[in-house]
Every structure is written in C-alpha cells, then in structure tokens.
Amino acid sequence: MWIEVDYQFPEHLDAAKQAKVLAIGQTAGTWDERFAAQAEALQQHLGEPGELVRNEDGTQVATVCYPLMNVEGDIASLLTMIFGKYSMAGPAKIVAIRLPKEYGTKPKFGIKGLRELTGVSGRPFVMAILKPAFGLKPEQHAKIVREVAAAGLDFLKDDEILVETETSPVQERLAACREAIQAAKSETGREMLYAVNLTGRADELQQKARELVKLGANALLFNVLAYGWSVMESLAADPEIDVPIFFHPALAGAICAAPDYGFRYSVLLGTLAARSGADAVLYPASYGSLPFEASEEAGIRTALRKRNVMPVPSAGIHPGVVPQVLADYGTDVVLNAGTGIMDHPLGPGAGVKSFFEALDRCQAGLPMTVDSVEEGPLKEALRKWGGSA
C-alpha cells in the first residue's frame, strides 16, 4: 500500500529529477553489491516517482509514492519521511497528501460527538475567545465567563497565547470559571464548554491535561504546531482525557505562507490536522481579518468533514459575516469570534446574543443590513462591523 504526495516545484527546476531524488533519498536510499543478498527487502522500502503535471503558471506538480510500511501510522514519522531533510534542499511545496482511510488518530467526539455532548442541533455553534488574555485575575476572567455563558454561548476558549501566569494560574482560573459556568447553567439549563489552553513541557502535558479534566475542564485548547503532533495524538488517545480538544493553528503561517516552500494550508490544517485526533480545528476564514484564499479554506473544510472533525473558521468573524458562513458551511460549523463578541458596544453578553439574532434572521430569510434590523445587539454589531444584504 502506498502514500501519495504531490510536490509543487518552480518552473526552473527539473521536477522529474527531484521526484526521483525524493523517492530514493527519503526512503531506502541506494546500495551496492555488499547488500545484494538484501536487495529484495530493500527494494520493498523504495519510493516511486509518479505523475508529473505542468500548471498554467509554469509550476510543476510531481507525485511521489511512498511505501506505507515506512511509517508508523502517525503524523511525525509521516512528515519525516515525505519532507524530512529534503525540506532544506530548495524550493518545494507539498500541495496534497493521499493517505489510507484509517491512517492517523480519530477524534473522540468530532462533529457528531459535539452535537451529542451539547444537545445542540440544527444550527452552528457559537464560540468566543476569552479576552483580554493577560493582566486579569481568575475572578475577573470568571466575570466575563458568567456573562457570556448566561447569554447562551456554546463554547469559550482561552486565547492561545495565555499561559501559566502569576496573576492567573490555570487551575485557579479554571476553578473560578467553572463556578461561573455552573451558575449560568442554573439559569439556562445548558453547560457551556470552556476550552482551557494546555501549556507546559512535553513531559508534563499529558498528566497536566488529566489533572485539568479531573478538576472540571470540559474541553481543552492545544497549540499543536508549537507543542507537537505526537503530543496531540497522545492526548487524543488517552481515555482519561475524555473531553473535546480544539486544535489551534498558531505557527501555520510560518509553515505554509511561502509560495514555493512548506505545505499548502489545506494539507497542514486539513489533511494532517484531521488525522491528529483533534475534535475541532481552527483556521482563518477567507472573509476574515487574515489574508486567506477561499480555495484553501474549502480544502480544509472538506478534509476535516471527511474525518468527522468540526471546522472552526476564525479571525475576524462577526455577526455580519454569518450569512456567508452559512452559505459556505451549512450548520456543521463553529462561529468563532474574539473581538466580534468581546468588543461588542453593549458588552460580551450582547455580542453573543447578536450572533444568535443573526442566525435567526438567516433562518427566516431576512436581510442583514443596519436599516433592516431592529434596535438591539445585532443592530449595534452591524453598525460597528458592517453586514451583508
């Protein structure tokens, strides 16, 4: 069985030659007569160059086929094989990876499990980011949590940059926020999921995650590209860590943004992230605040959904873009807003309500312009961020 990888090369390179270099150099390599007796066994581990296609812009895409037996079914050994030291050899960008259906780690919850866990169906989830990240004490964070949870928010996550601080140690912050969540639950009947940012040294992370879950954490946020794919897979496979894990894409730009190097975003945050064990994956929306191509967003969305992983388009999401998100995603999506909720003119609670108002209007087929909306949270949001027809 093979793993197929498509590499894009600039026009000036000999793509066919590079494909041969990859097929041999990233697998069994070459050997001489000293290993003649082992030639058959070595041959089984050699890669093979595949199809070569020239694009209209002059770039070339070469396929290389790698033996599945050369990897361990995880992301780390896969990355080492398909790019490894070759990634330092010059221009080359991985634009597609085709893996066996069962390759990688499956999510514990994913789209279906998140629906079952929360009891939310027939609409997108609404998520906020706990801001300001630094400078607040646990009780101050808890005050914000109480407000958004009471407003009906589905998910709340820590900012990915929030680490253990003297003013807000994670266990104290979790305890204060859990109390606020339970207080809101007594009013709404629903328990908001709060994804605590998991940070620390690799030898501490799994045990720390277990402890947070025991202390009441009902979700986790993890910066996979910073802390490691293997750590993510270990967290997802651990039966004691029985809560959803949200994959944050911090550092993805350093790996994907260059036109002739690294990975296509849809490979890193789609194909690979979908096999990491994460239940939901965050990434930029093409109509958000970061430069992101709609084709890459679509590729990520498709790859995630094939593996039952929840897509979370992010960065610059506000109520005014809800019609566009629904048109692109339907209902199986998380509307993840930072400033779009926390910087609402009437406060974070109103920010949450503005999203639900927007969803109700979209479901009813009503316009989303400032003039067409009654006074209230949504109208204030549209005044600040704009909207669509």
**CA–CA gap between residue 374 and residue 100 (Å, rounded):** 52
Active site annotation includes 306: no
Sheet with 2-9, side-by-side order of all strands: 48-54, 60-67, 2-9, 92-98, 261-263
Cβ within 8 Å of residue 237, ≥6 positions away:
105, 277
In 3D, which of 164, 173, 163 has the Cα closest to residue 137? 173
User: 245 forms bridges with which residues in the sheet?
Assistant: 220
124 in Cβ contact with 326 (< 8 Å) = yes
- Active-site residue identified among 85, 137, 157, 306: 85
What are residue 266's DSSP bridge partners?
none
CA distance 197 to 85: 32
Q: How far is CA 53 from CA 11, 158, 276, 299, 362, in A?
A: 11, 44, 30, 20, 43
Active site residues: 85
